[in-house]
Amino acid sequence: MKPIRTRTTRTTRAIAVAIVAGALVLTGCSGDNDGGSGKGKSDAKDQKDAAQQQDPVAYGDAAASTGPAEEVTGSKSGGFINVYMQSDMTHLDPGQIYVSDAGQFANLIHRGLTNFQEDDQGNLTVVGDIATDSGQSSDGGKTWTYKLKDNIKDDQGNPITSADVRHTIERQYSKVIFDGPTYVQSWLSGNDYRKALPDGPYKGKHLPDSVLETPDDKTVVFHFSQPRPDLPQALAMAGYAIVPEKRDTKEKYDDAPASLGPYKIEEYKPGKSMKLVKNTQWDPKTDSVRHQYVDGYNFSSTIDQASQTKRLIADQGEAKNAIQFTDSVDPAQMSKVISDPAAKKRTIQGYQVYVWQLSFNLDRLKDKKVRDAITYAIPNQSMVQADGGRYGGEVAGGLLAPTLPNFDPKYDPFGKLKNPNGDPEKAKALLKEAGVQEGTKLTYAYSNTPRGQAQMVIIKDALAKIGFDVQAKEIDRASFYEQVGKLNNPYDLYMTGWGQDWPNASTVITPVYDGELVADGASNYSHIDDAQVNQLIKTALTQEPEEAAKTWEKAHHRIVEEINPAAPVYYSKQIQLYGSNIGGARYSNESSYIDINDLYLKQP
């Protein structure tokens, strides 16, 4: 499927709690060579490919966690890779990172206790990153102990100790951090975790040793009130990467973070460009995931999706050394890429973990009949076409992606598989029942990207046909999720994309639909707070995998059918271009983008 090296020298121990993948009986639509017209044969990824990403994650031992990372066949050293982006990074502070562009970037400069390692089949293993292994559990999974590797330093040569790990966790309790993941904090101190340490570590206070313990410079111990078998996977998220205590500048850390990874920031012009160069303090012997083949990366954050695609198709000059970072092939140029063998050869493809959904602000759209009407009215297939046709996605029936274990391909309560262009008449009937007047205004927020703008036009037109007057409000891409993540945001509707943090429904349903996580900066964008859903979440989190799977399914069905806080729109796919001088390019199941860890220049 993609040019990837085989790992044969590492050993792993299987994760005991992973849910067994369910068999898929429905494949994606028959494809084409032009991005979605329905003629000819397609090699676009479908749900069979997605099923390969459901495999349980393995937990790696010390051997799997020992560097250096296995060499990429044909790799060379030297030169700079040019990175095309259409807007700036959402965050550089790891504690704030919960959006995919910054998550992709994090692997270049940040390191955490653990990380994901990927083999030639796309199978994932959690390995120790700055820790010696993926973690040692005891007390029935309530206690997790990590030992730090030797010779871990930041880019200024400061040794990293357990105090830095403690600081990293504790700073996420403070109001300085408002945009990152909350798994570890809530597991340690409950959903109202901020009350446990309101100022974080900044006024000299710490979590008690009964919660987070650092008995010596090389040891970190997490104590939970119940088993937390997913901790190694949570700690592998960019949001839990290490922030050295002496380098922490609180709110300003977003502007100039320290580096523990193979590269460091040499120059940063927000909204324009960034230059990364080698971090000479990074020791490859401590890292079993990353490489340091190129001298650095030149990021340009002002190149729109269409220009990226055009340059990479032409493959001239500096574009030969360039990659798309988190943007995809421009849908308008998709047919040109797919029909050009030379360009198509320089693409990576995969089924992403994301589900695009039209989120309803339940504080404003309180009538379920109205939400259902809007859901029926959405022309899902048009949304897919606007994002690259069959190379961009597939119509969604629910809010859980085909990359999750036990995915049900037949689940389709709104009949989108049969009526992919929507059912306006049913929508109008529901609005009539709800007493909604013709010309009622709705405020729709959208991101100022080509995808966001295309989605806005489709949504506005579809809702106008059933009688709404849609007021479209543009938001800058870099701050979009921050703006719609505010509890008192002034919007009725907004398109959001959510993907699993690891292959478990808990990482979708809990952060997005748990009513106890309704807060500024949280990922519960619809503000759903349903007692039954909340209880199902609590129950599932304490159950064994097979039983939990049934509970997650119940929660999913109640969310979609009985509450409808977000209309399922489409399951996302990825196709990206890179220049002809880029080596080591492959699709990463973990990031859903080009694997940033293996790249080199064929001719430095």
* pLDDT exceeds cutoff 80 at 25: no
pLDDT at 301 (0 to 100): 95
Q: Identify the pLDDT of residue 54.
A: 53
> What is the reported pLDDT for 542?
85
Mean of pLDDT values over 527-553 = 93
Nearest-10 crossing angle of helices 506-513, 545-557: 40
Q: Helices 545-557 & 531-540, crossing angle to 10 degrees?
A: 160
* CA dihedral over 409, 410, 411, 416, signed as positive or negative: positive
pLDDT in tens, 467-511: 999 999 999 988 899 899 999 999 999 999 999 998 899 999 999
Mean pLDDT of 77-97: 95
Pairing of the two strands 136-138 and 143-147: antiparallel
Under the banding of pLDDT at 50, 70 and 90, the label for residue 46 is low
pLDDT at 55: 61
CA distance 587 to 299: 20
Better-predicted residue by pLDDT, 365 or 15: 365
Global pTM value: 0.83
Strand partners, 264: 277
Average pLDDT over residues 29-41: 33
Burial of 240: CB neighbours in 10 Å, binned 0-12, 13-18, 19+: buried
Average per-residue pLDDT in the chain?
Answer: 90
Instruction: For residues 269-275, give the mean pLDDT.
Output: 95
Condensed to tens digits (0 to 9), the pLDDT of residues 108-141 reads 999 999 999 998 778 899 999 999 999 999 999 9
Side chain identity at 600, as an amino acid letter?
Answer: Y
Instruction: Kindly state the average pLDDT of the residues 357-361.
Output: 98
What's at 13, amino acid-wise? R
Angle, alpha carbons 178-502-412 (nearest 5°): 100
pLDDT, tens digit, 9 for 90 and up, residues 327-348: 999 999 999 999 999 999 999 9
Residue 48's pLDDT is 63
Mean per-residue pLDDT for 24-31? 23
Task: Select from 502, 486, 505, 503 the least CA-distant residue to 494.
Answer: 486
Across the range 447-470, mean pLDDT stands at: 95
Structure tokens at 222: 């997490």
Q: What is the reported pLDDT for 544? A: 80
d(CA 224, CA 501): 20
Residue 13 in this model has a pLDDT that exceeds 80:
no
Task: List 471's β-bridge partners, or say none.
Answer: 443
pLDDT at 41: 46
Residues whose CB is less than 8 angstroms from the CB of residue 204 and which lie 6 or more positions away in sequence, other chains included: none
pLDDT band with cut points at 50, 70 and 90 for residue 99: confident
Please identify which residue in the block is written with the tokens 């790696």.
Answer: 60
Residue 238 predicted with pLDDT over 60:
yes
Q: How far is CA 105 from CA 97, 126, 151, 154, 238, in A?
A: 10, 19, 23, 17, 9
Among the ranges given (2-6, 135-139, 192-196, 485-489), the one the predictor scored with the smallest mean pLDDT: 2-6
Residue 545: pLDDT band (50, 70, 90) is confident
Structure confidence at residue 121 (pLDDT)? 79
Residue 422 has pLDDT above 50, yes or no: yes
Give the C-alpha separation, 398 to 47, whole Å: 14
Asked if 304 and 148 count as a contact pair (C-beta separation under 8 A), the reply is no
pLDDT at 49: 64
> Which of the four pLDDT bands, split at 50, 70 and 90, describes residue 101?
confident
- Quick one: pLDDT band at residue 27, thresholds 50, 70, 90? very low
Helix axes 368-377, 450-465, angle to 10 degrees: 110
Residue 34 clears pLDDT 50, i.e. is over it = no
The answer to whether residue 287 scores a pLDDT higher than 90 is yes
Q: Any residues with CB less than 8 A from the CB of 490 and at least 6 apart, and which?
A: 443, 473
Helix (H) or strand (E) run with residue 573 in it: strand 566-577
Q: Which residues of 185-218 are buried (b: 16+ CB within 10 A; e: fewer)?
A: bbbbbebebbebbeebbeeeebbeeebbbbeeeb
- Length of the chain equals 604
Mean pLDDT of 443-467: 95
46 or 177: whose pLDDT is higher?
Answer: 177
pLDDT at 14: 32
Is pLDDT above 60 for 35? no
Q: What pLDDT band is residue 380 in, cutting at 50, 70 and 90?
A: very high
Q: State the Cα–Cα distance between residues 395 and 408, nearest whole angstrom.
A: 14
Strand partners for 216: 219
pLDDT of residue 2: 23
